[in-house]
Amino acid sequence: MAKFRLLSGGLVCLMASACAPTFVQDRMYFDHLAKAPGGMIGSTNTAAANAALASIKKAERKNEYGTKDQLLLGMDLGMATHVAARYKESEMIFRKSDRLAELLFTQSFTSILMSYQLNDYSLPYKGLPYERVMINLINSLNYAATGDWSGALVEARKIREKLVAYNRMYPQAAGPPGNYSQFDGRARDLLSGHRISYNPSQLNHYTDDAFARYLSGVFEEAQVATGEGSYQSAYLSYKKAERTYEKYRLLYNTPIPAFLGPALLRTAEAAGRTSEYRKWRQVYPNVSYIPASGYEQMGHILFVGYNGKIFHLAQNKLAFPLPIAGTISMVSFSVPKPVGGGSGVSGHDITVRRVDGPAVYQTSSELGDDLMAIGLTNFKDHLNRIILREAIRSVLKTVEQITAQNVAYRQGGILAGLGAMIGGGIFAVASDQADIRSWRLLPASIDFSMIDLPPGTYDLSIVTRPDVSYGHGGLTERVTLVAGQYLLIRTVNPPPARPNG
Amino acid sequence: MSGSGKIKVFFMGAALFAALTGCSSYSVQRVSVDTEGGVTSRWTDTDARLTAKTMIRKALDAPWLERFSEKNGRRPVVQLGQLINRSDQHINTRLFLNHFQDDLINSGKVIFVTASEAHRRAAEAERKFQMEHARSSTIHGPGQLTGADVMITGSINSFTASRGGKTVRYYETHLKAIDLTTNEILWGSQYQVKKIAHQSSMGF
């Protein structure tokens, strides 16, 4: 009997360890990034970013990402190569990841049945909607960084399609399959009895991405000169961005950014939408802008800053008494909970100088996407959808365990019953794991600024706001702009190094 | 087998089953893109070829070529403009245009001139080279190019529609032939590629 228990326990432990990822890649990654001079990574000072990328590639070589975490690997590799300014490489990785995410979205019935029996680690990681959307958002910036505005626009368009498709699916969320449905009522009673909210059909609050909408407008404008873009389409994108930012203000406390006003006025006028132009003039009475004819003769810098680190997930164990087969048994299950994340950087102050000359332009970036807020809301929507399934799973396991104990007791006596209880307990503990996989390499926020300048060569001095204690004065980038050119400048402000990092 | 033996077998079997199936890898099956419910609803090379083939048939069957020939006593000189990708997929529009151009040239009903900046620059550099180095009787000098009568231009749009567990994605290709003298649209046509992706309703 001792041998049997040891073997069973060993197998169960093997199952558990084989399925649970180690989650150390992000710590090593951010530790490397934090070593960047001034705590900031630009387009050229990429030594720290390359070291961080090497740590992810090393984890890939050592198979630290399991076979079910290939999407997570793609997301991490794509982000790390993007931060290391290897935009083409990052674009290819993200494109592959996007296809994989699409395949996983249509997952098989069998694998879902298995997740009811075991845990979500039996399913390949497919990411939450906001994470799948970020594949396209970051990838659109890969295309933008290489001047492929048509490709950037395609990525931005995919976002809306994705979000519509996801929300279309949730109201149709099926109940538990087959025999599992008999535990549905008990699980609902359990959750209601303990005032835990759940809704398997919960829709996402994240139905559109305002920053992606705004970027779509910029990408359209970048193609007006070649005839591939139009002011009509650019205007419509900015208009949708404005509407979505209004929703953002209520949902995430994100203010409507000031860079939207000039874009709306310029494109409404250029598209000949006079009544709408008048309407926007009333909304933005004091905003000055350069009309399209002059704007086309200028060079444009798209400044994008990635700040901090998004939250990650940890296990939250819940246990409740439940009457089963005439006795009171403890039903326990684990759900993920968000922890950590954030950034001390709220934005950047950018000063532009002619080479060896005085400052000609100063601006401050603004929040484009608050990924922490978007991610947390999206996660809560997801939790609302999955918590009933977790409860069903735990009720099912407890009932199976009690039944096996009773059978063992009747057939093999008290010792067999005790063995079944211990074996069942080990299995329940080993398989009761919340799925805490998430894309940990995402920043906490993305800030943005549009800088319009006459053609020429400039030095951009970029400093964080507020000036973080671990910084040493920010970053300087030299750029040369020609008329009609759009240029992406991207910075990364990782969280400060851990005390022992 | 004794009662305790059965229990041993049951638990070992259950643990093995869980260990093996819980951690098995998923697989991806490749099928023809023409197959309903195929793994991809993306635009593929086959879609490009199919669309080009259909659009060529439509272009050749329409009366605009005959009308032009009757009016001008010769075949029209055509150049390809832009095919703008307005879809939500990365589409190599050049691939589609190459199929279209090749088949239209081979029909013998039109004369094609290049509108490619790169081709024009290369040809111009070659003419300049010939001016300096080639025998005078073989030189192709400047000012001898054939101007286009008609420019073919268009766009590819995509949109999706969902019903039940199916998502249908449409790729709509619009082409038009514009008379470069009058800006009249001599011919216009569209073709839709419809792709169906099946969607599990079991997702959470």
Q: Chain B within 8 Å of A95 (Cβ-Cβ)?
A: yes
* DSSP 8-class letter at A224: T
User: What tokens appear for A392 in the block?
Assistant: 């069903």
Which residue do the tokens 């032009």 mark?
B68
Quick one: pLDDT band at residue B9, thresholds 50, 70, 90? Answer: very low
Q: Chain B within 8 Å of A423 (Cβ-Cβ)?
A: yes
Mean pLDDT of B59-76: 93
Rounded to two decimals, the pTM is 0.82
Are the beta carbons of A419 and B4 separated by less than 8 Å?
yes
* Interface residue of B26, B30, B169, B178 to substitute, partner A, most A CBs within 10 Å: B26
Quick one: pLDDT band at residue B182, thresholds 50, 70, 90? Answer: very high
Mean pLDDT of A71-76: 96
Per-position b or e across A43-78, b if 16+ CB within 10 A of its CB: eebbebbbbbbebbeebbeeebbbebbbbbbbbbbb
| pLDDT the model gives residue B178 | 96
* Residue A349 bridge partners (DSSP): A364, A463
Quick one: pLDDT band at residue B85, thresholds 50, 70, 90? Answer: very high
Q: Where are the beta strands (DSSP E) in chain B?
A: 77-86, 111-112, 150-163, 166-179, 185-198
Mean pLDDT of B55-79: 92
Measured in angstroms, the CA of B200 and the nearest CA of chain A are apart by 5
Q: Are B85 and A150 in contact (CB under 8 A)?
A: yes
Mean pLDDT of A281-298: 96
Q: Are A331 and A318 in contact (CB under 8 A)?
A: no
CA A94 to chain centre: 13
Q: Work out the mean pLDDT of chain A and round it to a whole number.
A: 86
Are the beta carbons of A19 and B82 separated by less than 8 Å?
no
- Helix H or strand E segment including A450: strand A445-453
Are the beta carbons of A114 and B11 separated by less than 8 Å?
no
User: What tokens appear for A70 in the block?
Assistant: 């290939």
- pLDDT tens-digit profile of A118-143? 666 778 898 999 999 999 999 999 99
* Residues of chain B neighbouring A389 (CB-CB closer than 8 A): 204
- Higher per-residue confidence, A164 vs A473: A164
Are the beta carbons of B18 and A15 separated by less than 8 Å?
yes
* Residues of chain B neighbouring A14 (CB-CB closer than 8 A): 19
Q: Chain B within 8 Å of A5 (Cβ-Cβ)?
A: no
Highest mean pLDDT out of A361-375, B46-60, B79-93: A361-375
| pLDDT the model gives residue A4 | 47
Q: Are A473 and A463 in contact (CB under 8 A)?
A: yes
One-character DSSP codes across B110-157:
-EE----HHHHHHHHHHHHHHHHHS-GGG---TT-PPPPSEEEEEEEE
**Which A residues in the span 424-463 are in contact with B, Cβ-Cβ below 8 Å?**
424, 427, 431
Quick one: pLDDT band at residue A173, thresholds 50, 70, 90? Answer: low
| pLDDT the model gives residue A280 | 97
| pLDDT the model gives residue A262 | 97
| pLDDT the model gives residue A115 | 60
Give the span between the Cα atoms of A334 and A329, in whole angstroms: 17
Quickly count: other Cβ atoms within 10 Å of residue A482's Cβ: 10
Chain B residues bordering chain A (beta-carbon distance below 8 Å): 2-4, 6-8, 10-12, 14-16, 18-19, 21-23, 25-26, 28, 39-40, 42, 82, 84-85, 87-91, 160, 162, 167, 197-204
Mean pLDDT of A19-36: 81
| pLDDT the model gives residue A426 | 65
| pLDDT the model gives residue B19 | 43
Task: Please give the backbone phi and psi of residue A402, each rounded to the nearest 5 degrees, phi first.
Answer: -65, -40
Q: Is A484 left (phi over 0), alpha (psi -120 to 50) or beta?
A: left
Q: Are A398 and A324 in contact (CB under 8 A)?
A: yes
* Interface residue of B12, B23, B94, B199 to substitute, partner A, most A CBs within 10 Å: B23
* Residues of chain B neighbouring A172 (CB-CB closer than 8 A): 201
User: What tokens appear for A207 in the block?
Assistant: 């139905």
* Interface residue of A169, A232, A236 to substitute, partner B, most B CBs within 10 Å: A169
Residue B202 has pLDDT above 90, yes or no: no
